[in-house]
């Protein structure tokens, strides 16, 4: 799995944003440089991100997707979805066709079940309605979609409601991931990182609902010891079991409380930024 940030520009100002301010300092945000960077990546999944990748020239974005498809690379297009609602039907169909040709999927951030909370989180008016419309439009066109809900202090109590909204409104959704906040980049770590023990009960209810309704679900960045019967839905457990390398190993570390845990060999530990805020697991 490889990640490419096209640029740092975005049309939202999410309070949980983990994107570093200076990550692309000196990088050329043009098609030629993007294709070169992708060509140097290992085969497999390419995560195309920003900022917001849909702020790129539309023709350039299609060329990137086509290049990935020709070189046998799958694509995860990470987006907040707002600009998708503004595409006309012709361009939207073209985008879905290009992504499907690369055996890819849309990864759309969806972290609130209603407009008022969405506006508080994204600091963007009208984003909730636009994002909801975009997901529905894509599903009608046969797109594969993963929704990512970033769990943090402003919305962890809404996890079950978010899952219920997705089940009710997005028929054909491929899967829903609950991803615990990363306290890096632009996120205000000390303010927005709740304790695992506080968020876990609400998250468990959300996962229970997904299971009951037949919606595939998974969890990232919260140790499996907090997930009870849903521990196997932890993304790191799957990676550790099959020895898959990645940033999960560098971003996390075991703490004294991990000693003796049944998941010791299948969990890299809590995030380092979580430890910095809370001092340990509890």
Domain assignment present for 282: no
Considering only residues 53 and 28, tell me which one the structure prediction assigns the higher pLDDT: 53
Given a contact cutoff of 8 angstroms between Cβ atoms, the answer to whether 128 and 82 are in contact is no
Domain assignment present for 273: no
Domain assignment present for 28: yes
Residue 23 pLDDT grade (very low, low, confident, very high; cuts 50, 70, 90): low
Domain that holds residue 80: 2-248
Q: Is 94 exposed, middle or buried (0-12, 13-18, 19+ CB in 10 A)?
A: middle
Cβ-based neighbours of 7, under 8 Å, separated by 6 or more: 24, 27, 29, 50, 51, 55, 56
- Residue 56 neighbours by CB distance under 10 Å: 22
Domain assignment present for 181: yes
- Quick one: how far is CA 66 from the chain centroid? 23
What's the pLDDT at 136?
98
What token pair was written down for 245? 């390398």
- Tally of domains in the chain: 1
Domain assignment present for 175: yes
Q: Is 21 exposed, middle or buried (0-12, 13-18, 19+ CB in 10 A)?
A: exposed
Domain assignment present for 229: yes
Rounded distance, CA 239 to CA 106, Å? 21
Rounded distance, CA 234 to CA 15, Å? 24
Rounded distance, CA 236 to CA 266, Å? 7
- Residue 264 neighbours by CB distance under 10 Å: 12
Q: Nearest 5°: CA angle at 66, between 60 and 69?
A: 145
Q: What is the mean pLDDT of the chain?
A: 93
Q: How many residues would you count in the chain? A: 282
Whichever domain contains 43, its CATH number is 3.20.20.70
Domain assignment present for 179: yes
Local structure of 17: helix, strand or coil: coil
What's the pLDDT at 244?
81
What token pair was written down for 260? 């003796």
Local structure of 102: helix, strand or coil: coil
Given a contact cutoff of 8 angstroms between Cβ atoms, the answer to whether 142 and 100 are in contact is yes
Rounded distance, CA 282 to CA 29, Å? 42
Given a contact cutoff of 8 angstroms between Cβ atoms, the answer to whether 53 and 101 are in contact is no
Domain assignment present for 272: no
What's the pLDDT at 156?
98
Q: What is the pLDDT of residues 213-270, one digit of tens each?
A: 999 999 999 999 999 999 999 999 988 988 887 777 889 999 999 999 999 999 999 9
Among 77-91, 94-108, 130-144, 244-258, the minimum mean pLDDT is found in 244-258
């Amino acid at each position: 799995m490889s990640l490419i940030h096209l640029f740092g520009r975005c049309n939202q100002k999410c309070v949980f944003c983990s994107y570093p301010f200076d990550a692309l300092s000196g990088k050329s945000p043009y098609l030629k440089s993007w294709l070169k960077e992708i060509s140097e990546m290992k085969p497999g999944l390419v995560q195309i991100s920003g900022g917001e990748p849909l702020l790129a020239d539309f023709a350039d974005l299609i060329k990137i997707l086509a290049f990935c498809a020709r070189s046998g690379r799958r694509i995860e297009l990470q987006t907040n979805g707002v600009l998708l609602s503004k595409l006309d039907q012709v361009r939207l169909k073209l985008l879905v066709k290009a992504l499907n040709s690369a055996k890819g999927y849309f990864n759309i951030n969806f972290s609130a079940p209603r407009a008022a909370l969405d506006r508080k989180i994204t600091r963007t008016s009208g984003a909730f309605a636009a994002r909801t419309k975009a997901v529905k439009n894509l599903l009608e066109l046969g797109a594969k979609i993963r929704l990512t809900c970033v769990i943090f202090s402003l919305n962890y109590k809404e996890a079950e409601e978010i899952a219920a909204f997705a089940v009710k409104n997005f028929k054909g959704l491929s899967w829903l991931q609950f991803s615990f906040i990363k306290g890096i980049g632009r996120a205000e770590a000390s303010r927005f990182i709740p304790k695992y023990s506080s968020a876990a009960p609400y998250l468990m209810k959300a996962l229970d609902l997904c299971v009951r309704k037949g919606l595939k679900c998974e969890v990232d960045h919260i140790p499996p010891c907090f997930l009870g019967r849903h521990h196997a839905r932890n993304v790191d457990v799957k990676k550790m079991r099959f020895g898959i390398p990645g940033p999960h190993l560098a971003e996390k570390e075991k703490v004294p409380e991990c000693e003796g845990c049944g998941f010791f060999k299948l969990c890299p530990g809590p995030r380092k930024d979580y430890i910095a805020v809370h001092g340990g697991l509890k």
